[in-house]
Structure 1
Amino acid sequence: MQKMSVPSYAELGKDARDLFNKGYNFGFLKVDTTSRSSGDTNVEFRTSAAHTIASGKIFGNLDIKYKIPNYGMTLTEKWNTDNMLGTIIEVRDQFAKGLTVILDTCYAPHAVKHSGKIKMEWANRNAKLNADMSVDGGPLFNLSAVVNREGWLLGAHAVFDVARNKFLGTNLAFGRQGIDYTLHSYVNNSREFGGSLIHRAAHNVYLGAQLGWNLGEPNTRFGLAVFYRPSKDLELRAKVSNESQIALAATHYLSNQLKLTFSTQFGLSEPYSGGHKLGMGLEFSP
């Protein structure tokens, strides 16, 4: 479970969040596919379609990624059924070693609206710095840093409104990254406090816990989750929250490239209230 590289601030606690969120798709039917061009492995196609059971709406998106290794560049074109067009240009290790520069743009032709961000990331063995600034509106400037010292992680994040010359938020995080566990704690704007823990109890079993509390609120949010892989073609997931919401999911690998997921969520406090949710997902990745 121990990682060689330092995570970004947004990635702190990601293992625990994935344990609670990935593999569950209750409330909708979903199909994801990933494929590569047979003539050029540097071209990748990703499609996704989701049908929301409650509303009956269908949403889909298409991503086409082109890699240009000689120039350290990756170009991604995006489109979704809301007619949003996006382009991401990523350049890695060309301006300086460990530096990645990204231009992320989005355009809505029907509404004649556009947005964009310039992002930069620099990393070495012991630290990672991230910065991004919107090129429309305010603009807003995001800056974050994470430092690693023998497995101990310290992170800070701030949002600054350039137009108003004002900080909109400051966040701090502290954690420990071990061989078979990751501990993460955070404070957001001195009002929200929380933490998470994920532990690899066995080679095929992961246990996780997370909690959160807002200043001025009497109740604490918490949850427990477990992941179990009894065989190479079956994955089982379960989680429960302080609101007595239980979620279950089972993923069956039909082949090395194709997997099918069924999931459900229901409440223990009111089992007959009709709040049950079901979902199914199909994912193909070569």
Structure 2
Amino acid sequence: MTLPQPVPPSWKDLGKSSNDLLGKDFPINGTALDVKTATSTGVSFKVALLRDAKSAIAGDLESKYNLKHHGLTLTQTWTTTNVLRTQVELENQIAKGLKFDLATSLLPDKGSKSALLTAIYKQPGLHTRAFLDIFKGPTFTADTVFGRNGFLFGAEASYNVTEGRLTRYSGAVGFSAPDYAVAIHSLGNSSTFAASYYHRVSPDVEAGAKAIYDTKATTPSVNLEVGVKTYLDEAAFVKAKINNAGILALGYTQALRPGVKASFGLAIDTQKLNDVAPTGAAHKVGASFTFEA
């Protein structure tokens, strides 16, 4: 008897395990602060600030209203660059597994605006999405991922409605198991190829790698990045990664108490070890603090 198939990941989440391992918890671009609070009525607020190496401070204020009984979520964001964003999500109201998402942004100073309408449909063995960029093109983009017994097959394509032509296409295959996952992507009209893997070696150790080959690069070569994550205890872990350019990155994350987390990051160019200034071009340091209540 065939076992029920789980809902596969979306197109953007193919290879997510390795992307998270190599991309998250390395706060090396400055000092970041995230403050998240929630009320008993389903309203949540988030303030995010980032001070980069040039002492510039950027941030945004986000408020989210969640009406669970109606499947409706409204998110509004105002950034320090005076960008106003609004996102409206409606889920499981017209049909089970169907979600609509409208994301808009407005820059009053320049009068620029954007609007992206998304439809997402999820069922066992299927995860498909369709996007319509209303003001750009307009451009219609769709992607689909099929999953069966751990095997994943995905494709994405973009179509310019005004010009009547296919502007982009991509494909991917992968396999996902409880303790490991692999994925191979063909991106940008088969101009870029990427392969990644993730392996939970033990309950305390995770490892992964990603290789990218760009056929349109001036000097075509394979860019390789390898990383590992180790849990020190239930409240702390360290991460390390290195790429073929010689950039070594280290990250340490500590949960100070429930809802309070601190992360510290360091990036070193091993080919420029004589550059001792940590905030110079060769080396970077940073930190991130998260408060959630």
TM-score by length of 2: 0.93
Aligned to 1:280: 287
- Decide whether the 8 Å contact of 2:72 with 2:88 is kept in 1: yes
- Decide whether the 8 Å contact of 2:7 with 2:147 is kept in 1: no
Aligned to 2:52: 52
Separation (CA, whole Å) in 1 of partners of 2:228 and 2:136: 43
Aligned to 1:244: 246
Aligned to 2:86: 87
- Decide whether the 8 Å contact of 2:195 with 2:211 is kept in 1: yes
Matched, 1:100 2:107: no
Q: What runs of 5+ residues in structure 2 fail to find an aligned partner? A: none
Superposed CA RMSD: 1.3
Separation (CA, whole Å) in 1 of partners of 2:136 and 2:205: 47
Deviation at 1:73, TM superposition (A): 0.5
SS at match of 2:69: helix
Separation (CA, whole Å) in 2 of partners of 1:208 and 1:95: 40
What letter matches 1:224 in structure 2? V
What letter matches 2:249 in structure 1? A
Deviation at 1:218, TM superposition (A): 3.4
Aligned to 1:8: 10
What letter matches 2:127 in structure 1? K
Matches within 5 A, 1:212-227: 212-215=212-215, 217-227=219-229
Deviation at 1:28, TM superposition (A): 0.5
Separation (CA, whole Å) in 1 of partners of 2:50 and 2:99: 32
Matched, 1:265 2:272: no
What letter matches 2:148 in structure 1? R
Matches within 5 A, 1:141-152: 141-152=140-151
Deviation at 1:20, TM superposition (A): 0.6
Aligned to 2:210: 210
Matched, 1:192 2:192: yes
Matches within 5 A, 1:155-170: 155-170=154-169
Deviation at 1:109, TM superposition (A): 1.3
Aligned to 1:132: 131
Moved over 6 A (4+): none
Deviations 1:237-285 (A, max 9, x none): 0000000110001111110210111110011112113511000110112
What letter matches 1:154 in structure 2? F
Aligned to 1:36: 38
Count of residues in Structure 1 that have an aligned counterpart in Structure 2:
281
Separation (CA, whole Å) in 1 of partners of 2:105 and 2:25: 28
Deviation at 1:4, TM superposition (A): 4.0
Separation (CA, whole Å) in 2 of partners of 1:149 and 1:226: 29
Separation (CA, whole Å) in 2 of partners of 1:133 and 1:118: 5
What letter matches 1:271 in structure 2? L
Deviation at 1:5, TM superposition (A): 2.7
SS at match of 1:97: coil
Aligned to 2:256: 254
What letter matches 2:150 in structure 1? G
Separation (CA, whole Å) in 1 of partners of 2:190 and 2:262: 42
Separation (CA, whole Å) in 1 of partners of 2:228 and 2:102: 38
Matched, 1:233 2:232: no
Query: More displaced, 179-188 or 266-275?
Result: 266-275
Deviations 1:51-83 (A, max 9, x none): 001x22110011111011121110111111010
What letter matches 2:129 in structure 1? N
Separation (CA, whole Å) in 1 of partners of 2:50 and 2:9: 30
Deviations 1:204-226 (A, max 9, x none): 21000110112254321001100
TM-score by length of 1: 0.95
Separation (CA, whole Å) in 1 of partners of 2:225 and 2:6: 28
Separation (CA, whole Å) in 1 of partners of 2:136 and 2:208: 40
